[in-house]
């Protein structure tokens, strides 16, 4: 203790004070929320289900950030908008399938097709971003990729606004997938279950790809050391391209699943979801695929349960308006206090 | 250095294709750009703006520029020395390909209804693209590729031309474009000139330039550029440097008298530009000098605005009702305090992470202000209204021109402060930290103190801007303080040149002033920002008016 006092500066003390006060706030809120008893246990279970669903969407977005970060040590600022593009690609595919009647008749066959469209859209967009914002700046040290990616994010949002209009677009109905099912006495919407399961399947596929395939091996090698990987004959440029494509495809899946649960999509939805996905990536430990899943689920649960558990305890009016404060707050806290995340990768500490 | 992990000697080499393939690719890219331009609705919107009365609209010029640029790039990119016929041929080919893309779009729109998916693919677009020919006719389909080939050929010739003449043509064309686009500004200036009756009626039509004056301006601009080149060649660089200083003085004089010689609308736009300059100078300290990427910058602007709103409003939420001049220093101090509070936790966060952390903090503040929980104090989404206008010597500053001078005076003070800071010990400490934090610390610079100072001073400037904003608009709402404002300011800095004070002025004029004056542009301004950011990073990363240290570094490298 005295050793710590001797070596620490006043900044450490301030940071410690912030930590303690945030922890105290959370504890007070938790105590208040639990004793207030506004919500029943069934409410909390349904909140949890919802949190897991949205968390799996965050996890899919987080994968794109994490993979690109692992390889380039850069954040793809436009990743949220890639998800938006994927979501719109899925919308058009769903519209076409709806016209031939496949969507409501055979939703289990139609959904993978819609997901494929979303993946294709997201991957294509991600490749364009790589080509414009990252490839020209691979060998220079500057803010250029960050600024280019911010620029691309705006280009995508406002080009999409010009192309598709500002109004909300609704996905057509997926037949029986629209209903609810009774599970252990709880009524759960089927889209939530479908989205959660689909996200897990896609994640498993991605993990298998990275762990087992030669491409995955090359990706891990490039993440370790780009120059050394080039020396042993790995085509680094191609690996980077593949990484962006896979990350974009994951974002496309996230966009379609998000639309499956929430029905409405807009051209501006990418921004907030992108930040949440980034928060999930950091939370789990950036550069770590399993961490992205963990981070996404934790963030989703925190956002779904936080307002009821913590904010309710302070007796605030309309605590759900402050849902985003919890998400953003977790992002800031993690960036400040544990930039390596829950399952930290060692390089992160060097950088942040 | 925080970016060391990013860099490596590895570089993706560009594969060289055959000249013909490259030409076709450039043409296809230009065609895609043209299709995109049409489908986002920009073509129809800008078709209403006549640059040359009844002859050329803004969107036609945009298309022509795309074809010419494609021809120019194709002409320049062909390997080896430019040789006459090849360049012209390649230029024409790119233009032809681009034109064919547009024709394909017209054909597609005529046969399939795209309207349900793409809102801009309206009959109006088909009509505008047909250029007066019957819709769907062979003439309408054929004329665009032919025109494209002609323009591409011009672009090719342009590439082969001696640079003297190229500059002359560019200058003449730019003058015509500016005169046509900012017709309203020039007309209002000419209106205000006494004893000079009605020249605007001959030069300007109801929408843009008339034909003959346009031609005269084109030729005059070209001759001017040629003469200037001749003059510059005959004189030494020292004198040329002096003439660039003269340009700065001219710019300042223009800024000073602008609202006097034009109308209220222009004054209002100028006032916005001055506000963004204030903010830009604030972020310039954080980002340009100290290298701290702050995307939550708008929070300080909001603190300044809400302070003035709470102190000067006659509405029910006001805490006190004092004069603007009392509230202004309070707003600045509170914003500076907020900056310090904001900066403290993120002291050890760097690079991309810092961008995200500050973005998160800024969004938290916006969501909190918007929420019902704080509505009894800050008005929630209803905001605070009825803010008094500032008064000076008993005169209420209400007109846009008066508020413009207020903002300009503040901007002048802030510019002076940041200029002095930049060259003081702390300014050099910031620069050192931007370049390499660890080395700077090893050299005895206290990173904590200098970073906190950067946050505090930058926030104070933004707070001043917020205070004036509240006084100008007379009301504050949370939706005025979105992330977009932070991005605007960031874009101003990047376009103008990071760390450069005149760059802030140039950036604010280009990014805030021009889109406001061009009403047709309004809808597409953020698209334009995004493209400008990307293009700037690719072509001129140091900005339009780079900081002197940067220029020197580049000269050495």
* Closest chain A residue by Cα to residue B292: A143
Q: Any bridge partners for residue B396, and if so which?
A: B391
* Closest chain A residue by Cα to residue B8: A139
Residue A234, H or E segment:
none
Q: Is B407 on the interface with A (CB under 8 A)?
A: no
Look at residue A5 and tell me if it is in a domain.
no
Query: A92: which chain B residues are within 8 Å (Cβ-Cβ)?
Result: 117
- For the segment B171-194, the average pLDDT, to the nearest whole number, is 79
Residue B172, H or E segment:
helix B163-181
Query: B531: which chain A residues are within 8 Å (Cβ-Cβ)?
Result: 151, 155
| pLDDT on residue B200 | 60
Q: Of the candidates B435, B448, B495, B473, which has an alpha carbon nearest to the alpha carbon of residue B4?
A: B435
Quick one: pLDDT band at residue B7, thresholds 50, 70, 90? very low
How far apart CA B297 and CA B280 sit, in angstroms, is 10
User: Is the Cβ pair B361, A328 closer than 8 Å?
Assistant: yes
Q: How far is A221 from chain B (nearest CA, A)?
A: 14
The DSSP-derived string for A197-217 is HHHHHHHHHHHHHHHHSHHHH
- Judge whether B266 and B510 are in contact, CB under 8 Å: no
* Angle made by CA atoms B83, B86, B88, in degrees to the nearest 5: 105
b/e code A46-83 from CB counts within 10 Å (16+ = b): bbebbbbbbbbbbbbbbbbbbbbbbbbbbbbbbbbbbb
Q: Could you tell me the residue range of the domain that residue A203 belongs to?
A: 37-351
Copy the structure tokens of residue A302: 């925190």
Query: A227: which chain B residues are within 8 Å (Cβ-Cβ)?
Result: 8-10
Report the domain count for chain A.
1
User: Is the Cβ pair B367, A322 closer than 8 Å?
Assistant: yes
Find all residues with CB under 8 Å of A120, minimum gap 6, and list them: A89, A249, A252
Look at residue A265 and tell me if it is in a domain.
yes
| pLDDT on residue A347 | 47
Looking at residue B13, the DSSP 8-state letter turns out to be P
Q: Phi and psi at residue B51, in whole multiples of 5°?
A: -85, -50
Nearest-by-Cβ selection for A328 from B36, B39, B360: B360
**Above 60 in pLDDT, residue B288?**
yes
pLDDT in tens, B186-242: 777 777 766 555 566 677 777 777 778 888 888 888 888 888 877 777 766 666 666
What is the predicted ipTM? 0.85
Q: How far is A66 from chain B (nearest CA, A)?
A: 13
pLDDT in tens, B397-448: 777 788 888 888 888 899 999 889 988 999 999 988 888 888 988 998 888 8
Query: A218: which chain B residues are within 8 Å (Cβ-Cβ)?
Result: none
Q: How far is A191 from chain B (nearest CA, A)?
A: 25
Q: How far is A162 from chain B (nearest CA, A)?
A: 4
Q: Of the candidates B269, B274, B331, B322, which has an alpha carbon nearest to the alpha carbon of residue B300?
A: B331
| pLDDT on residue B129 | 82
Helical pair A214-224 and A41-72, crossing angle rounded to 10 deg: 70
How far apart CA B72 and CA B80 sit, in angstroms, is 15
Look at residue A18 and tell me if it is in a domain.
no
User: Is the Cβ pair A164, B117 closer than 8 Å?
Assistant: yes
Torsion sign, CA atoms A234, A238, A242, A243: positive
Most confident segment among A21-35, A163-177, B29-43, B255-269: B29-43
Residues 461-520 of B with CB under 8 A from A: 483, 487, 490-491, 494
Look at residue A76 and tell me if it is in a domain.
yes
Look at residue A288 and tell me if it is in a domain.
yes
- For residue A238, the domain's CATH number is 1.10.3470
**Above 90 in pLDDT, residue B22?**
no
**Above 70 in pLDDT, residue B300?**
yes
Query: B120: which chain A residues are within 8 Å (Cβ-Cβ)?
Result: 162-163
Nearest-by-Cβ selection for B529 from A77, A154, A240: A154
Nearest-by-Cβ selection for A331 from B118, B360, B487: B360
CA atoms within 13 A on the CB side of B392: 7
| pLDDT on residue B549 | 61
* Closest chain A residue by Cα to residue B528: A155
How far apart CA B361 and CA B90 sit, in angstroms, is 52
What whole-number percentage of chain B has pLDDT above 90? 8
Q: Is B210 left (phi over 0), alpha (psi -120 to 50) or beta?
A: beta
How far apart CA A319 and CA A323 sit, in angstroms, is 7
Q: Of the candidates A319, A86, A339, A118, which has an alpha carbon nearest to the alpha carbon of residue B352?
A: A339
Torsion sign, CA atoms B333, B335, B337, B339: negative
Copy the structure tokens of residue A166: 């500002």
| pLDDT on residue A313 | 72
Q: Among B17-26, B472-481, B495-504, B518-527, whose mean pLDDT is lowest?
A: B518-527
User: Is the Cβ pair A147, B344 closer than 8 Å?
Assistant: no
| pLDDT on residue A348 | 42
User: Is the Cβ pair B373, A317 closer than 8 Å?
Assistant: yes
User: Is the Cβ pair A328, B538 closer than 8 Å?
Assistant: no
- For the segment B516-524, the average pLDDT, to the nearest whole number, is 74
Q: Give the residue from A29, A140, A229, A336 with the most B CB atoms within 10 Å of its CB, the best one to mutate.
A: A336
Query: B372: which chain A residues are within 8 Å (Cβ-Cβ)?
Result: 316-318, 321
How far apart CA B70 and CA B26 sit, in angstroms, is 6
Tell me the average pLDDT of chain B.
81
User: Is the Cβ pair B530, A9 closer than 8 Å?
Assistant: no
pLDDT in tens, B352-406: 788 888 888 888 888 888 887 777 778 777 788 777 777 777 677 777 788 888 8
Query: B526: which chain A residues are within 8 Å (Cβ-Cβ)?
Result: 154, 157-158
Look at residue A276 and tell me if it is in a domain.
yes
Find all residues with CB under 8 Å of B469, minimum gap 6, and list them: B275, B301, B304, B305, B476, B480
* Closest chain B residue by Cα to residue A92: B117
Copy the structure tokens of residue A142: 């500057």
Nearest-by-Cβ selection for A139 from B9, B356, B538: B9
Which one has a higher pLDDT value, B499 or A57?
A: A57
Look at residue A21 and tell me if it is in a domain.
no
Residues 526-545 of B with CB under 8 A from A: 526-527, 529-534, 537-538, 541
What whole-number percentage of chain B has pLDDT above 70? 89
- Looking up tokens 């250095």, which residue turns up? B1
Residues 62-121 of B with CB under 8 A from A: 117-120
Q: Among A327-331, B35-39, B81-85, B418-422, whose mean pLDDT is lowest?
A: B81-85
Chain CA centroid to CA A322, Å: 19
Q: Is B374 on the interface with A (CB under 8 A)?
A: no
User: Is the Cβ pair B356, A139 closer than 8 Å?
Assistant: no
Look at residue A6 and tell me if it is in a domain.
no
How far apart CA A304 and CA A149 sit, in angstroms, is 30
pLDDT in tens, B304-336: 999 988 888 877 777 777 888 888 999 999 999
- Strand, helix or coil at B313? strand
- Judge whether A292 and A99 are in contact, CB under 8 Å: no
| pLDDT on residue B161 | 78
pLDDT (tens digit, 0 to 9) for every residue of chain A, 352 residues total?
A: 678 777 778 888 888 888 899 888 888 888 887 777 777 777 888 888 889 999 999 999 998 888 888 888 888 889 999 999 999 999 999 888 888 888 777 888 888 899 999 999 999 999 999 998 888 887 776 778 888 888 999 899 999 988 888 888 888 877 777 777 777 777 888 888 888 898 889 888 988 888 899 999 999 888 888 888 889 989 988 999 999 999 999 999 999 999 988 888 998 888 889 988 988 988 888 878 888 889 999 999 998 888 877 777 777 777 777 788 888 888 888 888 888 887 765 544 444 3
């Amino acid at each position: 203790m005295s050793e710590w006092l001797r070596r620490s500066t006043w900044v450490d003390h301030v940071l410690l004070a912030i930590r303690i006060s945030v922890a105290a706030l959370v504890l007070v809120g938790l105590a208040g929320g639990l004793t207030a008893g506004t919500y029943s246990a069934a409410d909390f279970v349904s909140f949890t289900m919802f949190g897991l669903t949205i968390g799996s969407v965050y996890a899919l977005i987080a994968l794109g950030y994490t993979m690109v970060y692992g390889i380039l040590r850069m954040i793809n600022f436009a990743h949220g908008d890639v998800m938006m593009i994927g979501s719109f690609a899925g919308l058009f595919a769903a519209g076409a399938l709806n016209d031939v009647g496949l969507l409501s008749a055979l939703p289990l066959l139609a959904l993978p097709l819609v997901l494929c469209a979303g993946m294709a859209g997201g991957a294509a967009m991600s490749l364009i971003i790589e080509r414009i914002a990252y490839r020209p700046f691979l060998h220079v040290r500057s803010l250029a990729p960050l600024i280019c990616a911010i620029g691309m994010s705006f280009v995508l949002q406002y080009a999409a606004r010009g192309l598709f209009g500002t109004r909300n677009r609704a996905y057509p109905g997926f037949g029986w997938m629209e209903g609810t099912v009774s599970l252990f006495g709880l009524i759960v919407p089927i889209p939530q279950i479908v989205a959660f399961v689909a996200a897990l399947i896609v994640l498993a596929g991605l993990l298998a790809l990275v762990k087992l395939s030669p491409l995955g091996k090359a990706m891990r090698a490039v993440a370790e050391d780009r120059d050394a990987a080039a020396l042993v004959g790995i085509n680094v440029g191609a690996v980077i391209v593949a990484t962006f494509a896979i990350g974009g495809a994951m974002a496309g899946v996230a966009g379609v699943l998000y639309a499956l649960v929430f029905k409405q999509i807009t051209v501006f939805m990418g921004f907030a979801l992108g930040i949440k996905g980034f928060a999930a990536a950091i939370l789990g430990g950036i550069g770590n695929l399993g961490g992205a899943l963990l981070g996404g689920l934790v963030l989703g649960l925190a956002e779904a349960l936080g307002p009821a558990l913590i904010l309710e305890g302070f007796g605030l009016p309309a605590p759900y308006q402050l849902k985003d404060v919890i998400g953003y707050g977790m992002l800031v806290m993690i960036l400040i206090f544990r930039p390596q995340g829950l399952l930290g990768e060692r390089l992160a500490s060097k950088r942040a | 250095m925080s970016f060391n992990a990013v860099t490596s000697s590895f570089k993706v080499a560009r594969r060289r294709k055959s000249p013909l393939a490259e030409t076709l690719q450039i043409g296809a890219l230009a065609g895609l750009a043209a299709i995109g331009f049409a489908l986002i609705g920009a073509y129809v919107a800008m078709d209403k703006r006549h640059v040359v009365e009844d002859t050329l609209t803004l969107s036609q010029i945009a298309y022509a520029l795309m074809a010419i640029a494609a021809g120019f790039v194709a002409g320049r990119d062909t390997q080896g020395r430019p040789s006459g016929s090849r360049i012209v041929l390649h230029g024409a080919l790119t233009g032809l390909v681009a034109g064919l893309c547009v024709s394909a779009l017209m054909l597609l729109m005529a046969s399939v209804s795209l309207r349900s998916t793409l809102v801009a693919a309206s009959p109006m677009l088909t009509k505008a693209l047909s250029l007066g020919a019957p819709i769907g006719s062979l003439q309408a389909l054929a004329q665009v590729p032919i025109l494209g080939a002609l323009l591409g050929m011009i672009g090719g010739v342009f590439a082969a031309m001696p640079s003297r003449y190229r500059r002359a043509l560019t200058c003449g064309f730019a003058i015509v474009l500016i005169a046509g686009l900012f017709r309203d500004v020039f007309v209002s200036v000419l209106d205000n000139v006494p004893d000079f009756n009605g020249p605007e009626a001959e030069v300007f039509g109801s929408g843009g330039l008339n034909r003959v004056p346009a031609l005269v301006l084109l030729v005059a601009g070209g001759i001017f550029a040629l003469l200037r080149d001749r003059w510059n060649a005959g004189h030494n660089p020292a004198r040329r440097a002096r003439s660039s200083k003269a340009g700065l003085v001219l710019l300042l004089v223009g800024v000073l008298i602008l609202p006097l010689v034009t109308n209220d609308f222009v004054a209002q736009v100028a006032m916005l530009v001055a506000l963004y300059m204030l903010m830009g100078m604030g972020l310039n300290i954080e980002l340009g000098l100290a290298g701290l990427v702050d995307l939550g910058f708008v929070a300080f602007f909001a603190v300044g605005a809400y302070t003035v709103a709470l102190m000067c409003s006659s509405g029910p939420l006001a805490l006190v009702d004092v004069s603007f001049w009392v509230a202004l220093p309070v707003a600045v101090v509170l914003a500076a305090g907020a900056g310090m509070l904001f900066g403290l936790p993120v002291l050890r966060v760097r690079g991309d992470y810092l961008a995200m952390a500050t973005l998160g903090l800024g969004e938290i503040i916006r969501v909190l202000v918007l929420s019902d929980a704080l509505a009894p104090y800050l008005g929630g989404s209803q905001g605070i209204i009825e803010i008094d206008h500032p008064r000076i010597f008993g005169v209420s500053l209400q007109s846009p021109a008066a508020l413009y001078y207020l903002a300009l005076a503040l901007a002048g003070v802030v510019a002076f402060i940041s200029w002095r800071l930049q060259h003081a010990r702390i300014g050099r400490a910031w620069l050192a930290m931007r370049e390499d934090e660890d080395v700077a610390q090893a050299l005895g610079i206290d990173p904590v103190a200098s970073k906190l100072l950067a946050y505090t001073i930058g926030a104070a400037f933004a707070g001043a801007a917020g205070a004036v904003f509240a006084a100008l608009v007379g009301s504050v709402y949370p939706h005025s303080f979105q992330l977009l404002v932070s991005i605007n300011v960031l874009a101003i800095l990047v376009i103008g040149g990071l760390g450069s004070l005149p760059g802030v002025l140039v950036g604010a004029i280009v990014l805030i002033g021009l889109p406001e004056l061009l009403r047709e542009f309004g809808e597409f301004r953020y698209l334009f920002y995004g493209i400008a950011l990307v293009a700037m990073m690719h072509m001129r990363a140091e900005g339009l008016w780079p900081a002197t240290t940067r220029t020197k570094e580049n000269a050495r490298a």
